[in-house]
Structure 1
Amino acid sequence: MAVFTEVPPDAARALAERLELGDLVELRGIQGGIENTNYFLTTEQGEYVLTLFERLTAAQLPFYLYLMKHLARRGVPVPEPHGLPGSATPAQPDGVLLHTVCGKPAAVVDRLRGHSELAPTAAHCAQVGEMLARMHLAGRDYALSQPNLRGLAWWNETVPVVLPHLQPAQAALLKSELAFQNHVAQSPAYAALPRGPVHADLFRDNVMFEDGRLSGFFDFYFAGVDTWLFDLAVCLNDWCIDLASGRHEAERAQAFLAAYARVRPLASAERRLFPAMLRAGALRFWISRLWDFHLPREASLLKPHDPTHFERVLRERVAHPVAA
């Protein structure tokens, strides 16, 4: 959620008028994150988030925007995108959700209430686990399909790019883990994993709580169709570890998994590959953070994440496998 594109107030005001959201009151850049340009957009009618997409294309974006609409209709608390008034058709009753600002594809969504819990308890983790399972089930009948763009194919493309920046021990770990994940992906157990739309980036800072209760999931712009187990692993690698060491935190993980399983029990193939997917989740974010750190883009407010964090998490997941 860095600012790569400076949006003049007049451009934001014109968009708010087109969407019939009322007169612009304030436009403020959001610090944090590394993919898109984000602003808090406040009008006389309410508070919204304006996102300009810096990497995703206009052809890729409908998957994310209509997914959020789909989930919201099924009771999953996500930011609803605002469509262009009068643009609905029988084929697309939600209308046009993708707009253009400063020559970039853009969207306006409702701003969720509450705040992120950056030091979650087992009770917070249980709420996230339950809602994640509800989200997975709610997405089963979503009509659009798009692969996880930061999945295995992207790992295979990106690892050769970041390897020259690593120390020998790091490079050896990265190459061996990538080989392991390619092997897992070819197995019958992997083919049997349930799958559908996943968030794929549901870290602590992408979930909101208000008065101790979960109020929403946001930032769906890494979503895609992948295994539900991978999505679960990504969550556990953030919500249920000690951030300083990367070590597994059993109490929070048990609360998360138990709440998830009450809504959607894990299949036998998921239990079998649970340790491997925890490693996959750690590998994915180690690769992306290495890429962002060593090959950065210029942006106002940009603050790259430390890639060594997920190196530690991966080493912990390899050394200390965890059963579901």
Structure 2
Amino acid sequence: MAVFTPVDEADARSLLQRFSLGELRSLRGISSGIENTNYFLSTTTGEYVLTLFERLTHAQLPFYIDLMSHLAEHQVPVPHPQATHDGARITELHGKPSAIVTRLPGQCQMQPGAVHNALVGGTLARMHLAGQDFAVNQPNLLGVEWWAKTAPVVAPHLPADAADMLRDEVAAQVAAAATDAQRALPSGPAHCDLFRDNVLFAGTPDAPELGGFIDFYFAGCDTWLFDVAVCINDWSIDHATGEIRADLADAFLTAYAAERPFTDAERAAWPLMLRAAALRFWMSRLFDFYLPRPAQTLTPHDPTHFERVLRLRRAHTPLVLP
């Protein structure tokens, strides 16, 4: 959500003429993130987020925009894309595809406890179930095929032992993805990037309420277990060490399973899926760190964090699915 493409108030006023969202009150860039240009957009009718898409093409966007609309209409707390006067939810600004979505209440919780894990786990399961009848099928664009293609690009930047681990893990994941067992895992639309900075909490510190899930622009159709593993590797760990905290993971997984019970096949696949989730973000952070794009406000994430997490998951999986 870095600011790659500048947008001023005159641009925003011109864009708003295509919508029935009132008059502009304020516009403020959002500096966090690494993929799209985002602005908080306040109007006389409400609070919104304006996104200009820097990576995704106009042809790819309907999956993400329509998925958010589908989930919002099924009472899942996600940003609701707004339509122009002629019904389009995707428009254009400065030559980039763009969209305006509702701004959800709350703030991110960067030090989540068990209650936050439980709220996210239960809502993620409901999101997965709500997406079952979503008609559009688009794969996770940063899934196993991207890993196989990108590993040779980032490996030369690594020390020999890390490069060897990267190649070994990619080979293991490619082999697993080709098996009938993994192909048969429950799957469908998945967020694929549901980190702590992509969930908002309202309420009070003592009684938090889930404000919603944001930033669906890495979403894709994948195994739901991958989505769960991504969350556990961020929500339920000691961030200084990367070790999974049993109390947080149990809260997340128990709440998820109460909405959608895990299958025996998912239990068998769980250790490798935790590794897959760590690999995906190690590789994307390596790519962003060594091959960055210019941006006005861009701070790449530290890739060594997920290298450490992957080493831990390869050595030991300290929990089982309920």
Task: Provide the C-alpha distance between the structure 1 equivalents of 2:15 and 2:92, rounded to a whole number of angstroms.
Answer: 9
Match of 1:240 in 2: 236
Counterpart of 2:92 in structure 1 is 100
Aligned to 1:130: 122
Matches for 1:274-313 after TM superposition, within 5 Å: 274-313=270-309
The answer for the alignment partner of 2:74 in structure 1 is 74
Instruction: Read off the aligned partner of 1:68 and give its amino acid letter.
Output: M
Task: Tell me, yes or no, if structure 1 residue 159 matches structure 2 residue 151.
Answer: yes
Runs of 5+ consecutive residues of structure 2 not aligned to the other structure: none
Counterpart amino acid of 2:268?
R
Tell me how far apart the structure 2 counterparts of residues 102 and 140 of structure 1 sit (CA, whole Å): 35
TM-superposed deviation, 1:37: 0.4
Give the alignment's TM-score, normalised by structure 1: 0.96
Residues 88-127 of structure 1, C-alpha deviations (whole Å, 9 max, x = no match): xxxxxxx311010111000000111111111001111001
Partner of 1:47: helix, strand, or coil? strand
2:247 to 243, 251, 264: 251
After TM superposition, the structure 1 = structure 2 runs for residues 192-231 of structure 1, keeping only pairs within 5 Å, are: 192-211=184-203, 212-231=208-227
How far residue 57 of structure 1 moved from its aligned partner, in angstroms, is: 0.2
**CA distance in 2: counterparts of 1:112 and 1:188, whole angstroms:** 39
The one-letter amino acid paired with 1:53 is F
Aligned length, in residue pairs = 316
Q: CA deviation at 1:145?
A: 1.0
Equivalence for 2:37: 37
Deviation at 1:6, TM superposition (A): 0.6
Q: Which moved more, 1:180-189 or 1:35-44?
A: 180-189
Match of 1:171 in 2: 163
Counterpart amino acid of residue 57 in structure 1? T
Q: Does 1:9 align with 2:1?
A: no
SS state at 1:318 partner: helix
Structure 1 residue 188 displacement after superposition: 2.5
Specify the alignment match of 1:92 in structure 2.
Answer: none
- Distance in 2 (CA, whole Å) between partners of 1:163 and 1:37 is 29
In the TM superposition, residue 250 of structure 1 has moved relative to its aligned partner by: 0.6
Residue type of the alignment partner of 2:146? W
Aligned partner letter, 2:237:
I
1:112 aligns to what SS in structure 2?
coil
**Mapped partners of 1:127, 1:38: distance in 2:** 26
2: CA distance between counterparts of 1:35 and 1:61?
A: 14
| Secondary structure of 2:17 counterpart | helix
Map Cα deviations across residues 44-70 of structure 1 (whole Å, 9 max, x no partner). 111110000001000000000010010
The 5 A counterparts of 1:50-89 are 50-85=50-85, 87=86
Alignment partner of 1:235: what SS? helix
Provide the rounded CA distance (Å) in 1 between the counterparts of 2:142 and 2:16: 32
- TM, length-normalised to structure 2: 0.97
- SS of equivalent residue, structure 1 residue 3: coil
C-alpha separation between the residues in 2 aligned to 1:13 and 1:302?
26
Measured on the aligned residues, the alpha-carbon RMSD in Å equals 0.8
- Distance across 1 between alignment mates of 2:152 and 2:158: 11
Corresponding position: 1:112 with 2:104: yes
SS of alignment partner, residue 132 of structure 2: coil
Instruction: Calculate percent identity across the aligned residue pairs.
Output: 59
Instruction: Write the deviation string for residues 229-259 of structure 1: whole angstroms up to 9, x where unpaired.
Output: 0011001110011111111111100110000
What's the offset of the Cα at 1:134? Answer: 0.1
Structure 1 residue 187: deviation in Å?
2.0
Aligned to 1:319: 315
Aligned partner of 1:190 in structure 2 is 182
Shift of 1:267: 1.0
SS in structure 2 at match of 1:197: strand
Gaps of 5+ in 1: 88-94
Letter of the 2:183 counterpart: A
Cα distance in 1, alignment partners of residues 214 and 3 from structure 2: 18
Q: After superposition, give the CA deviation of every residue in 1:192-231 in whole Å (9 maximum; x if it has no partner).
A: 2010000000000100111111110010000010000001
**Other structure's SS at 1:48 match:** strand
Query: What amino acid is the match of 2:94?
Result: C
Determine the C-alpha separation between the residues in 1 that align with 2:219 and 2:257.
22
CA deviation string 1:264-286 (max 9, x = no partner): 00111100000100000000000
- Runs of 4+ aligned structure 1 residues displaced above 2 Å come to none
Once the two structures are TM-superposed, the CA of residue 17 in structure 1 deviates from its matched residue by 2.0
**Letter of the structure 1 residue corresponding to residue 190 of structure 2:** V
